[in-house]
Each structure stands twice: as structure tokens, then as C-alpha cells.
Structure 1
Amino acid sequence: MTTYYADSDKFGDEAASPLVEAFHGAVKDLVRRRLAESGAAWSDFVFGDAIDGLTADDFAAIDARILELGHRYEWSALVSVRERPEAYKPAAGLAEDLATFSFEHPGAVTVPADAEGWEQRGVGDNVVPYETNLVGTARYVRSSDQVLKYLTEGVPAGTIAVIDDSGGTLTAPILEQFEGVLCAGGTTRSHLGILTREYNIPCFMNAKLSGIREGDTVMMETTAKARTAEAYQHNIEMTARVWRKSGG
């Protein structure tokens, strides 16, 4: 079978997960079949009318087949879970009391407290580097009800929002009031990353956290280098640390 340039060289790396690999493989197979059916040259197929033969129904069928095989999508916006719960991995902790809830991500890096009482409780991808690290109070924002409450009562000063919606839509009405953001999804190129950069709000995307609870005093290593597009493409770690103050 012909190996097209895009099959192996376009991004220079393998897919990030078996699910992505399965979806990409199904799309490539679909394109090959449509190309063969058209009888056209590749350039004519891409730039001509034959490409119109790829329909929404084709991609819906791929989606259905992927789900039938037992795959479930990772999500970065809670609206995805609410609208298609059968297609996405469940969002843990939505019904829990925020006073006792904490993210417990498998990839969280933890280190015992230092002499000043700061213990590392995770890492994240820094969006923009700053001259000093940021200290604030962790507050989870995971529902529209919480956003409405903060709209009415105001966001407490010094809030470092801990969220898992990288789309930015949920927190957009109150985003400017955050001192910082720890987002457990997305990348530095996600919509939320772009918004926080524009508003000059320190932000870590793709945060992996453990043991940070509502009201904890936390510190973000905002002096760390920003993670680049090349780092994502080549799976190069460029993480910034997140600390929690012991006893606070």
C-alpha cells in the first residue's frame, strides 16, 4: 500500500495515544477509499470536487465505530462530558463537596516539604514566564453555579483558580478577577491559555495535581520557562512546579 507523506512525516511523531492513533488510522483509510473510488490523481482529489465526497456521516460512522470498540475520549471542557457522557471519560468529583475534594492526577509530582514548609504537589505547563513566583489561595471552579456565585459576590482576592475546563468559556465572565489559574487540561495553545496570556494572568495548563484542596495556600513556579509548541510535538518535558504550604 502506498505510504503518503502525511502518514509519517507531517508532524514528525507518533500519535499521543492509542485512541488518537485509531481515529487517525480510520480517517486515513476513509481518504484512501474515497481516492480510489474517485479515480483521480491525489492533487486533483485534494484541490478538486472529489474531496466533497467526504461527508459528516462518514466521520460520524468513524466516531461510532471508535466508541463501539470501547474507546472513550479524553475531555478538556466539561461541556463535552455533559453533552455526550457516553463518549467521554467521566469527570471525577463533580458531585463532591469542594471543601474536601482535590484532584488526584496519576502524573502529579510530589516532594516533601522544604525548610520553609512548601511541599510540591504537582506540575503544569507554564503559559508565560514572570519575574517572581505567584502565591495565592486555591479555589476550585468547576460549575456554572460557582461562576454565577462569584459573579454575584465577587471572586475573593488572591484566588488561584483550579479548573479543568481548558476552553475558557466556563470561567470567561470572571477570568479577569483571578490572580492565577491552574488548569488540569489543554496546552499552552488552548483557548484558556491564550486568554490568560492576553489578560496577563499567570496560568499553568495541563496541570497534574495531588492533595490541593479548597482554601490551601499554593505557590506557582511562574518563573519557569513557557512550554513551547516544539516541546509538545517532540514530547519534551518543560514543566513548572506547584507547591502547597504545609498546614495552610
Structure 2
Amino acid sequence: MADPKWKLPESSTLSRLTREALFATVRRNLEAAGPDAPWKDFTGPRTLELLSEEDGRRIAEEVFEQFQMIEGRKLFAGCEIALKERPDLYVLRSEAQELEPRTDWPEGVVADGDNVFQHDDVEGTVLVVREVGEVDRLMREGVPEGTIGVIDDAGGTMTAPILEEFDGVVCLAGTVRSHLAIISREFGVPVLMGSRTRRPLRTGERVRVTYSVEAQNVDAYFGDAIKPRAEVVLLDGEA
């Protein structure tokens, strides 16, 4: 229960609140058990609990309440199934996230993001994917050639079955440490993470993504120099 030497600061309010609540609950349960409680009573056929099911439900409720007070919003859903099952908890990132308030957008640039790995620039057609049903359809019919997927989910689970069929991906969430970034390296699919948008990207738009810029260093999230972000340039229409 000591502070581990490898621990880094959390990159989100939700992860910090969850870690603090979990650590506090385990400490409380250990103290209640007493210094002489044998470890075997916490493992195997347990007679003592480090973290009970009731603790888990209480922590979830408390963390969500604290999160709403701090962030002023619900949790971002990775796909529409969470939204349908728990509309009291979730909202789609693409519908709730404020557009980037910067005033120095270069001409024609509609979004930017942290590049996961260097790759040739990619020109393609935007396909916004936010529903499991859309992923199922693309699994059956295939992703059209020259498609750049735009997704909300940094976890990667929803889009993993079709990830390697994209020419590129722009993700509105996460960092270069996220699961989507990890599997994108394995598939060799260029991805931007934590993308900021000048306005929502729309299915059917033609864009060029500058994946050729230097990849973001993971340590940039913990104080190291931040590399310039890759840009999404609109090839037709107005930014």
C-alpha cells in the first residue's frame, strides 16, 4: 500500500478519483482486519475482503458523483451501447466535447492530434464510426479503400476487428499510450490520438492527414517537450 516508485501522475480526473477511492477502501479494510490478520484469509476461500462487491458499487457511485462535480459532465461512452444501457452515466464524446477554442487554425486545417508513429501522409475519405452496428456492417461488407476512420473510442475494442482495413484513423480520445495506439502500431495503421477539432469531421469529406510529422513522445504527458501535432487538412469544402 506504499506509493510505488513506478507510479506516474494520472492523465485524467476519472483515473485519479478511481485510484484514490480504491486505495482508501483497501487501506480501510486492512486496518479493520487488524495487523494480525493472516493473508490466507484474504485469498482463496476468503473470510476477509480487501475489496467487496458492495465496496465496488459504492466506489462507482461516489467516483461518478465527484467526477460530475469536477468536470461538469457525464462519462464519455466508447460506443452507443453504453449510452443506450446507461443514459444517466454516459454521453458520446463527439456530442459533448467542446471544439478546440484555438484562434490560430492554419488555412484548411480542420483538426489536429498526437501522432502515434511516423508514416507517409494519407489522403482519403472520412468515415465517422460511432456505433457497433456500423462496425458489424463494415465487417461484413468491408471498409472502402482509401477510408480514414474517425472514432470516439481510445480503447480500440470496438474498432479492432476492422482497424487494419483503414488507411488511417483519427481518434478524438486518448493518448499515444492508449490501447488503440498500441494495436495500431501492430497493425501498421497510422493513427492520431487525442484529436482536437475545429468543427466536427463529417462522413464523405476528403482530407489529408500529416502522419509524416514526428511521433509524440509518451513522456510529453508528464512534462517533457511536446512534439508538434499532426494536422487534418480539408481537401474540399470549408474548414
Instruction: Tell me the TM-score range normalised by the shorter chain.
Output: 0.7 to 0.9
Corresponding letter in the other structure for 2:60: D
TM-score of the aligned structures, taking structure 1 as reference length: 0.74
Tell me the number of residue pairs that the alignment of Structure 1 and Structure 2 aligns: 226
Q: 1:158 aligns with which of 146, 151, 157?
A: 146
1:191 Cα deviation from its structure 2 partner: 2.6
Equivalent position of 2:3 in the other structure:
5
Q: Matches of 1:172 and 1:146 in 2, distance apart?
A: 13
Q: 1:105 aligns with which of 84, 99, 111?
A: 99
The answer to whether 1:65 aligns with 2:66 is no
1:12 Cα deviation from its structure 2 partner: 4.5
1:48 Cα deviation from its structure 2 partner: 6.2
Q: Matches of 2:220 and 2:67 in 1, distance apart?
A: 30
**Aligned sequence identity (%):** 32
**C-alpha contact (below 8 Å) 2:78/2:152 kept by paired residues:** yes
3-state DSSP of counterpart to 1:26: helix
Q: Matches of 2:158 and 2:17 in 1, distance apart?
A: 30
1:62 Cα deviation from its structure 2 partner: 1.2
Q: Matches of 2:75 and 2:155 in 1, distance apart?
A: 14
The answer to whether 1:28 aligns with 2:49 is no
Over 3 Å counting, the alpha-carbon distance change for 1:150 and 1:53 in structure 2 is closer
3-state DSSP of counterpart to 1:75: strand
1:17 Cα deviation from its structure 2 partner: 4.5
Uncovered stretches (5+) of structure 1, i.e. residues with no partner: 95-102, 114-118
RMSD of aligned C-alpha atoms? 3.3
Corresponding letter in the other structure for 1:5: D
Q: 2:232 aligns with which of 208, 217, 242?
A: 242
Over 3 Å counting, the alpha-carbon distance change for 1:49 and 1:128 in structure 2 is farther
TM-score of the aligned structures, taking structure 2 as reference length: 0.76
Equivalent position of 2:195 in the other structure:
207
Over 3 Å counting, the alpha-carbon distance change for 1:77 and 1:221 in structure 2 is same
Q: Matches of 2:21 and 2:90 in 1, distance apart?
A: 19
**C-alpha contact (below 8 Å) 1:108/1:123 kept by paired residues:** no
1:134 Cα deviation from its structure 2 partner: 1.5
Within-5 A mapping of 1:87-236: 87-93=89-95, 105-106=99-100, 111-113=105-107, 119-130=108-119, 132-211=120-199, 212-234=201-223
Equivalent position of 2:86 in the other structure:
84
Corresponding letter in the other structure for 1:192: L
Cα shift readout 1:159-211 (whole Å, capped 9, x = no counterpart): 11111122323223332221101111122233322222112111112211233
Uncovered stretches (5+) of structure 2, i.e. residues with no partner: 44-48
Q: Matches of 2:113 and 2:233 in 1, distance apart?
A: 11
Over 3 Å counting, the alpha-carbon distance change for 1:84 and 1:192 in structure 2 is same
3-state DSSP of counterpart to 1:188: coil
Over 3 Å counting, the alpha-carbon distance change for 1:150 and 1:90 in structure 2 is closer
